Structure 1
Amino acid sequence: MKILETDRLVLRLQTTDDVAFILELLNDPSWLKFIGDFSVKTLDDARTYILNGPVRMYEQLGFCLYLVERKEGRAPIGICGLVKRDSLEDVDIGFAFRPKYWSKGYAYEAASAVMSYGKDTLGLTRIVAITTQENQASTNLLEKLGFRFERLIQMTNDSEELKLLVFDETENHIKKQWESSETKEILDRLSASFFDAFTNENGYKLNVHALSELFIPEAMII
């Protein structure tokens, strides 16, 4: 079943017909290095992974890691979607692509569609992501999507500290408001008023009393 579509890609539910691709993906050296060994070594293991992972999560929560196909030839190239882990409070985005499809913009295209789906359809205002500290490519992609580094965390039964990155719609909205031209103009006026209170050039008399209009009564200037 198709869930999302972009200019070049289709994101759909994984099925047991995808066992060969999933087996290959989960044993790719890049997956083993940056994500981990899921002990999926046979086609039967891959079938179990699909049924107990993405299929079950979609049935329970309405989202999962989707299979990503190129429209051209309908070749599977990776997975991308949303996950709810017991060890994390928030829903997180995940993605993994076969190396021969790296550096072609596919991961960003798929992840952007998933982020829009999460916000607009599922109503998520906060989405997180985890990645190893050495996986700079994933970090760069997440930052391009609007994520920011929050802290290092340690997952259950994992000795390695991972980076937790966060996308917060409310926080981003406030940030955009502060960066608006109108807000910048207000801040510039406040700054100018502050420094003018201490100016005594050319015979100008200090007007420190004007500071009471800029600060709350409890404020202290040191």
Structure 2
Amino acid sequence: MEVIHTSRLRLKMATKDDALFIQDLYSSEDFKRFVGDKQLHTKQDAERYIEENILTMYRNHGVCLLVVERLSDSTPIGVCGLIKRDQFDAYDIGYGFLPTCYGCGFGLESSLAIIEYTKKNPQIEELIAITTSDNIASQKLLSRLGFTYVKVESKLSDTIDLLLYRLPLINHETHP
């Protein structure tokens, strides 16, 4: 995927140089709680994850999560991009940010950029998103992006469900 710029952010392909950041982000409590524990205990684990998951997804499907950096100082603050899951026909938008960046609008800004980028691909007519029923911040972001709740995709525990959202891209206008 090409580098995507917004007024404050740069979204770029992950490289091995991003391994320590990926390890830090994916090891944060919220990331493990809402996305899952990817078992990235070392820099080598993160390098392997970048190669076997992020870059392999790009090679196989032409999409992947991108590293989100602040333009002002090139500091990596999160990931945002598209994921192609075998169980879904549509592409899935995904994102995650360091806890220190919550409430700054980076999730909205980077997700809007991904949606606009995706609209240029006429083969992608809709996006989906999944989030857990206890991730209220993610549900609010999806709503702001124009996604609508579709259904409970699966039950994760007695108290937490995996929720499926949908965003048709045909005639869609984003409203930040």
Output the TM-score relative to the length of structure 1. 0.73
Deviation of the 1:123 alpha carbon:
3.8
Q: Which residue of 1 aligns with 2:137?
A: 137
What amino acid is the match of 2:91?
A: V
Secondary structure of 1:121 counterpart:
coil
Instruction: Name which of structure 1's ranges 115-124 and 15-24 shifts more when overlaid on structure 2.
Output: 115-124
Question: Distance in 2 between the 1:107 and 1:151 partners?
Answer: 23
RMSD: 1.8
Large movers: runs of 4+ above 2 Å: 158-161, 169-173
What residue ranges of structure 2 are gaps of 5+ in the alignment? none
After TM superposition, the structure 1 = structure 2 runs for residues 198-209 of structure 1, keeping only pairs within 5 Å, are: none
Cα 1:122/1:24, change in 2 over 3 Å: farther
Is 2:29 the partner of 1:29? yes
Secondary structure of 1:37 counterpart:
coil
What amino acid is the match of 2:27?
A: N
Instruction: Name which of structure 1's ranges 119-128 and 103-112 shifts more when overlaid on structure 2.
Output: 119-128
What amino acid is the match of 1:13?
A: M
Secondary structure of 2:164 counterpart:
strand
Q: Which residue of 1 aligns with 2:113?
A: 113
Is 2:48 the partner of 1:18? no
- Count of aligned residue pairs for this structure pair: 171
Question: Distance in 2 between the 1:154 and 1:83 partners?
Answer: 18
Deviations 1:87-114 (A, max 9, x none): 2221100000001111111110000000
Secondary structure of 2:52 counterpart:
helix
Structure with the greater alpha carbon radius of gyration: 1
Greater relative contact order structure (CA < 8 Å, 6+ sep) = 2
Deviations 1:171-200 (A, max 9, x none): 859xxxxxxxxxxxxxxxxxxxxxxxxxxx
Secondary structure of 1:82 counterpart:
strand
Q: Which residue of 2 aligns with 1:7?
A: 7
Contact conserved, 1:2 with 1:10, CA < 8 A, in 2? no
Contact conserved, 1:81 with 1:95, CA < 8 A, in 2? yes
Question: Distance in 1 between the 2:105 and 2:135 partners?
Answer: 17
Question: Distance in 2 between the 1:168 and 1:5 partners?
Answer: 23
Is 2:169 the partner of 1:169? yes
Cα 1:27/1:41, change in 2 over 3 Å: same
After TM superposition, the structure 1 = structure 2 runs for residues 49-88 of structure 1, keeping only pairs within 5 Å, are: 49-88=49-88
Question: Distance in 1 between the 2:10 and 2:162 partners?
Answer: 30
Question: Distance in 2 between the 1:56 and 1:161 partners?
Answer: 28
Question: Distance in 2 between the 1:7 and 1:172 partners?
Answer: 22
What residue ranges of structure 1 are gaps of 5+ in the alignment? 174-222
Question: Distance in 1 between the 2:122 and 2:143 partners?
Answer: 22
Deviations 1:137-182 (A, max 9, x none): 1011111111000000128xx5553010000134859xxxxxxxxx
Q: What percent of counterpart residues are identical?
A: 36
Question: Distance in 1 between the 2:30 and 2:170 partners?
Answer: 34
